[in-house]
Amino acid sequence: MKLDSLAIHAGDRKKAGPFVPVTTPIYSSSSFFYSDMETLDRVFAGEIQGQNYARYNNPTTNALEEQIAALEGGDFALACASGMAAIYLALQAALTDRRRSVVAGPVLYGATIRLLHEMLEPNGIEVHFADPCDPQAFAAAVSEHQPGCILVETVANPMLRVTPLDTVNEIARRHGAVVVVDSTFATPLLARPLELGSDLVVHSLTKYLAGHGDVLGGIVVSREDFRPILQSISRAVGGVLGPFEAYLAMRGVKTFPLRMTRQCANACRVAGWLASHPRIAKVHFPGDPQHPDAAVVRRLFPPNMYGAMVSFEVKDAGKEQIFRLVDSLKMIVPATSLGDVHSMILYPPMSSHREISPKHRQRMGIGENFLRLSVGIEAPEDIIEDLDQALGRS
């Protein structure tokens, strides 16, 4: 099936007694039992499929996991309570029985950087940073540090650099490293990292996949060989996704290809308009023919699909001017997220990268005049009009 059809049908319509529900229902039970103890024992032992305790399995959550695994071309998925829980789970699984060292991209979501520095390093895991968009330097860093795990984002947050995943995966194979990819910005519509040779793919379900601003969740997708360790860590730690959130996420995923296609088209319009505005110093957008990773975009992404994130720098603006600009917006929502049906704007120095030092932010390219825009499915003319009036008032 094509991606559009998989999003609608994968995971759904499982037989439940004499009938089949057209949509997977919410199973809010915390535990399950059978007509005899022998069957329950075999379920606990993994000899037969079944439900026993919601920290281990839940039919609603399992349906969502099957749906996302199908979209990513994976064998197995495990839903978590948040995107950060999914990142942590993937990293722990990747480092099990391997060298306790990570090489990560230098520009990542701020909370991911904090996780590396404040959770992994204090527990004896070495963390090094290298730019995957410079393959020669990245290969040298991997050769020097011999990491057990490589961590990258398909599209880096918020600079929107595009990782050459095929090259990164080849470098990793030469050194026996596991590749973990946060593909939240790209979604399975733009890239399927497992098919390019990556090992574990992470999404924040909160963003494009659920897409309506009403779910907090994350998910890890992988091959069958990572199933035992992922399940073991998840069951021990217990950061599982609840059935209500799984239901909402699964419902959102059914329209994700439609939404994302529209959002990508809108982002192209908005990015082009911003690039011509006299108050904009620079636009960061993978669809720009002058984008530093334009060749990677052409190689890895479908034609005319560049994602729905646009970052831009306002000319001669500081924090005060940026606040005034954002306060002047009438339709675009100034909130800390992305990927919703409505357009959202975020000031990284205040939110996503707040805990990163100003000097570190400057090295990443995030100045005081930097804004990140998640383009929604509204009429593009209305998005542009709102930005235009706000830029004129700030």
Reported confidence tier of residue 45, pLDDT bands at 50, 70, 90: confident
Q: Which helix (H) or strand (E) holds 129?
A: strand 126-129
User: Which of 1 and 394 is assigned the larger pLDDT?
Assistant: 1
pLDDT tens for 139-171 read: 999 999 999 999 999 999 999 999 999 999 999
Summarize the chain as % helix, strand, coil (round to 5). Answer: 45, 15, 40
Verify whether residue 14 is a known catalytic residue.
Answer: no
User: Which of 363 and 102 is assigned the larger pLDDT?
Assistant: 102
Reported confidence tier of residue 394, pLDDT bands at 50, 70, 90: low
| Average pLDDT along the chain | 94
Residue 284 has pLDDT above 70, yes or no: yes
Query: How does DSSP classify residue 120?
Result: I
pLDDT tens for 236-268 read: 999 999 999 999 999 999 999 999 999 999 999
Q: Which of 88, 109, 208, 306 is catalytic?
A: 109
The HSE-up count of residue 379 (CA atoms within 13 Å, CB side) is: 4
Of 255-259, 288-292, 320-324, 354-358, the one with minimum mean pLDDT is: 354-358
Q: Which of 27, 88, 161, 182 is catalytic?
A: 182
Delimit the CATH 3.40.640.10 region(s) of the chain.
Answer: 3-253
Verify whether residue 55 is a known catalytic residue.
Answer: yes
Q: Are strands 149-153 and 101-104 parallel, antiparallel or unpaired?
A: parallel
**Is residue 201 within 8 Å of 209, Cβ to Cβ?**
no
Delimit the CATH 3.90.1150.10 region(s) of the chain.
Answer: 256-393
- Tokens matching residue 126: 């070495």
The HSE-up count of residue 126 (CA atoms within 13 Å, CB side) is: 14
pLDDT tens for 60-99 read: 999 999 999 999 999 999 999 999 999 999 999 999 999 9
Looking at residue 350, what is its pLDDT? 73
The torsion angle over the Cα atoms of residues 321, 325, 376 and 353, rounded to 10 degrees, is: 30
User: Terminal CA-to-CA distance of the chain, rounded, Å?
Assistant: 49
Q: Which of 42, 55, 99, 262 is catalytic?
A: 55
Looking at residue 138, what is its pLDDT? 98
Reported confidence tier of residue 391, pLDDT bands at 50, 70, 90: very high
Q: Which CATH superfamily is domain 256-393 in?
A: Aspartate Aminotransferase, domain 1 (3.90.1150.10)
Looking at residue 351, what is its pLDDT? 73
Q: Is the dihedral of CA 127, 131, 133, 134 positive or negative?
A: negative
**Is residue 306 within 8 Å of 363, Cβ to Cβ?**
no
Distance CA 274, CA 81 (A): 36
pLDDT tens for 176-206 read: 999 999 999 999 999 999 999 999 999 999 9
Residue 7 has pLDDT above 90, yes or no: yes
For Cα atoms 315, 316, 322, give the angle at the middle one, nearest 5 degrees: 80
Verify whether residue 347 is a known catalytic residue.
Answer: no
φ and ψ at residue 77, rounded to 5 degrees? -140, 155
Residue 15 has pLDDT above 80, yes or no: no
- CATH match of 3-253 with 3.30.1330.60: no
Mean pLDDT along residues 337-344: 97
Distance CA 156, CA 130 (A): 13
Verify whether residue 315 is a known catalytic residue.
Answer: no
